[in-house]
């Protein structure tokens, strides 16, 4: 039997070389992968923090501008709600209705409602071209505002509806033919009426089918204080709407 041949020097060398190379690769690759992973994680965290701060600053600035815009719109609507000529015309209309019997009042309101919904020209002119409608159109166009209170063109063009109802929610005057005649069950009307006390009510952002746009509405009661009483049982509400 021949004795086992001892491995040559070259075989021993080439057998160890792959092991050494593999060991060196493992020693180098593992720290490299760990380092890349840590760098990616730290970079992602920093990007999130930076984006979060930028978004926070943007949100705060947007909220500030919206708050200023809302304050301006509330102020403009308040001037309409306290206009003496509008209050006078509303009192005249109230007195005229009170002089009628219950059946006459119901017939008058029903005639206006059916005419408005049918877009009868005479009824439309009564509501959109009467004295009160002319006054709110003057406010909307800026004709009745002081020089430092002019409504910017962008606000005038964005205002979709500006209208006034009576204490029963019936439409009295409007800048357009879009508003519904009966509003007593509307969320904004209930919010602004507030059980006859009256308060500022700003509705949530919502999509309005009539103007085909997302809008916010501002509602204010028109009231006039007399000695010992308030006009009338429920407030009368002007509403401004504009898209986002």
Q: List, for residues 187-204, the tens digit of each pLDDT value.
A: 888 888 887 778 888 888
User: Rounded distance, CA 132 to CA 94, Å?
Assistant: 14
Tokens of 190: 């209930």
Predicted confidence (pLDDT) at residue 6 exceeds the cutoff of 90: no
CA 144, 145, 150, 152 torsion-angle sign: negative
**What region, left, alpha or beta, does residue 228 occupy, with left being phi > 0 and alpha being psi -120 to 50 degrees?**
left
Nearest partner of 86 among 164, 12, 23, 160, judged by Cα? 164
| pTM summary value | 0.68
Place of tokens 């209170």: 149
* Short-list 179, 167, 172, 150, CA closest to 240: 179
- Tell me: the pLDDT tens digits for 103-153? 999 999 999 999 999 999 999 999 999 999 999 888 888 776 655 555 555
* Intra-chain end-to-end CA distance of the chain, in Å: 100
Residue 235 CB: number of other CB atoms within 10 A?
Answer: 24
Q: What percent of the chain has pLDDT over 70?
A: 74
Residue 43 pLDDT greater than 80, yes or no = no
- Please report the sign of the dihedral spanned by the C-alpha atoms of residue 110, residue 111, residue 114, residue 119: negative
Residue spans of the domains in the chain: they are 60-243
Q: Pick the range with the lowest mean pLDDT from 12-26, 54-68, 93-107.
A: 12-26
Give CA separation, 83 vs 53, 89, 110, 151, 193, in Å.
45, 10, 28, 16, 19
CATH 3.30.450.20 fits 60-243, yes or no: yes
């Amino acid at each position: 039997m021949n004795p086992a041949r001892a491995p040559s020097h070259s075989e021993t060398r080439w057998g160890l070389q792959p092991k050494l190379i593999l060991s060196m690769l493992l020693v180098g690759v593992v720290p490299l992968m760990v380092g890349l992973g840590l760098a990616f994680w730290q970079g992602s965290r920093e990007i999130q923090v930076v984006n979060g701060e930028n978004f926070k600053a943007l949100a705060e600035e947007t909220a500030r501008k919206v708050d200023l815009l809302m304050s301006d719109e509330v102020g403009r609507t308040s001037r309409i709600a306290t206009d003496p000529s509008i209050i006078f015309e509303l009192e005249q209309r109230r007195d005229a209705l009170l002089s009628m019997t219950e059946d006459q009042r119901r017939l008058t309101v029903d005639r206006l409602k059916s005419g408005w919904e049918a877009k009868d020209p005479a009824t439309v002119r009564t509501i959109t071209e009467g004295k009160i409608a002319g006054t709110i159109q003057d406010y909307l166009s800026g004709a009745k505002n002081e020089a430092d209170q002019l409504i910017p063109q962008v606000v005038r063009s964005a205002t979709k509806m500006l209208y006034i109802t009576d204490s029963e929610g019936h439409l009295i005057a409007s800048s357009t033919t879009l508003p519904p005649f009966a509003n007593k069950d509307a969320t904004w009307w209930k919010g602004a009426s507030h059980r006859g006390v009256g308060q500022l009510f700003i509705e949530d952002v919502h999509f309005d089918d009539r103007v085909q746009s997302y809008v916010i509405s501002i509602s204010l009661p028109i009231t006039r204080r007399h000695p010992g009483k308030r006009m009338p049982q429920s407030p009368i509400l002007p509403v401004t709407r504009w898209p986002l």
